[in-house]
Structure formats: structure tokens, C-alpha cells
């Protein structure tokens, strides 16, 4: 009873704090976490956001021709961890939350990049745009290394080089 009277007193002091949404505008503050938007110009398809995304709302698919970054809004929990992780600052935050759609395809977003194939084994492994970005950032360092070689072949090449260097055989 005492508790109820306290609540009654508080509500009489504060007044109405709820809104008759959707008949009135919603109570969305500037801090409210809503939909993310990926800038197709800034994004290089590095996949850092995919690795950090807790519910796997972001996924990446690499095939012979293309690397496809997919964002499934239906699975997004709007934690914005991807925003903090993106090295390109390519993910914009919004406070959009009215996201109902009639077609499932309308809650899917896709960015498509051309894929690089490994110059040793021919396997598709990363977006061209990412290689270009790495070259731009650390060009001198990577100039003579195996940037167009996939991680597996790079490992094998490095092991062979070390054997040659230290044991005189490859
Ligand atoms: S982390 Fe940023 S640059 Fe990398 S794939 Fe995600 S949105 Fe694109
Ligand atoms: S906001 Fe969170 S859940 Fe949504 S795509 Fe980014 S990391 Fe994944």
C-alpha cells in the first residue's frame, strides 16, 4: 500500500510520461540505437564487422567472381559493435526502428565486390577493393610481398623460403 502511494505521488508530480504511439510521435532520443547503413563507397569488404557481429546479422560470401557482404536486418540487435569495429568508418548509425516489411528481401542489404584470385593456386580469396586499400595504406611495405597470394599459399611460400634460407633447401 505504501509503495502504491509512493507511485501515485510520483505520477502526480511527473505527469504522463508515455505517448500514444503510433498516433503520436515516438519517444526516440538521439542515443537510441536503430538501423545501421553501410556506405558502399567507403566499405572495402574486409569482413571485420562480420567477425564481431554477435547474432550473425552480417555475413560475407566469397565466390570466384564476387565477394558479397550481406546485412540481414531481421537478425540485427542494433548493438552497433560493427560501427565501432569498422576500420573504414563505413557504417552509419541511425535511430530508425520502424522496419516492418511485406517481403523478406526488403530486410536484406547486399554490397558486391570483385574478388581477387590467388596467383599461386587460383582460389578466390578476398575483394579487389581490400587489396587496393591495403596497397594504398602500406604500399611500400607490401610492394614486394605476396599480397595477391591467398593465406594458405602464403604460409607454404613462407615456410619454403625459411627452409631455403636456414637449411639451404626448399
Ligand atoms: S568492417 Fe567496414 S569496411 Fe569492413 S566489411 Fe564491414 S563495413 Fe565494410
Ligand atoms: S548492429 Fe550489432 S547486430 Fe546489427 S549488424 Fe551491427 S554488430 Fe550485428
pLDDT digits (tens, 9 = 90+) for 117-140: 999 999 999 999 998 898 888 876
The predicted pLDDT at position 47 comes to 97
For ligand 2, atom 4, name the residue with the nearest CA.
Answer: 76
Residue 126 burial (C-beta neighbours within 10 Å; 0-12, 13-18, 19+): buried
Domain that holds residue 85: 28-167
CA distance readout (Å), 84 to 24, 80, 152:
33, 7, 29
Q: Is residue 4 part of a domain?
A: no
CA 81 – ligand 2 centroid, Å:
6
Check pocket membership of 127 for ligand 1, CB cut-off 6 A: no
Q: Is residue 119 part of a domain?
A: yes
Chain segment 8-47, per-residue pLDDT in tens: 888 888 888 888 998 998 888 889 999 999 999 999 999 9
Structural domain total, the chain: 1
**125 C-beta neighbours (distance < 10 Å), count:** 19
Q: Is residue 21 part of a domain?
A: no
Q: Is residue 11 part of a domain?
A: no
Q: Is residue 52 part of a domain?
A: yes
Check pocket membership of 130 for ligand 1, CB cut-off 6 A: no
Question: What's the pTM?
Answer: 0.83
pLDDT band at 145 (very low <50, low <70, confident <90, very high): low
The average confidence (pLDDT) of the chain is 91
Amino acid at each position: 500500500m505504501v509503495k502504491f502511494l509512493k507511485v501515485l505521488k510520483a505520477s502526480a508530480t511527473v505527469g504522463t510520461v508515455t505517448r500514444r504511439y503510433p498516433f503520436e510521435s515516438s519517444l526516440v532520443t538521439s542515443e537510441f540505437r536503430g538501423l545501421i547503413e553501410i556506405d558502399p563507397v567507403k566499405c572495402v569488404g574486409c569482413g571485420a564487422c562480420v567477425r564481431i557481429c554477435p547474432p550473425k546479422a552480417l555475413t560475407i560470401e566469397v565466390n570466384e567472381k564476387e565477394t558479397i557482404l550481406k546485412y540481414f536486418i531481421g537478425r540485427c540487435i542494433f548493438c552497433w559493435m560493427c560501427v565501432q569495429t569498422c576500420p573504414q568508418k563505413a557504417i552509419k548509425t541511425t535511430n530508425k526502428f520502424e522496419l516492418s516489411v511485406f517481403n523478406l528481401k526488403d530486410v536484406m542489404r547486399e554490397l558486391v565486390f570483385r574478388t581477387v584470385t590467388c596467383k599461386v593456386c587460383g582460389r578466390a580469396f578476398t575483394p579487389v577493393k581490400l587489396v587496393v586499400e591495403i596497397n594504398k595504406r602500406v604500399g611500400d611495405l607490401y610492394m614486394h610481398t605476396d599480397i595477391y597470394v591467398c593465406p594458405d599459399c602464403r604460409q607454404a611460400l613462407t615456410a619454403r623460403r625459411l627452409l631455403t634460407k636456414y637449411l639451404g633447401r626448399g
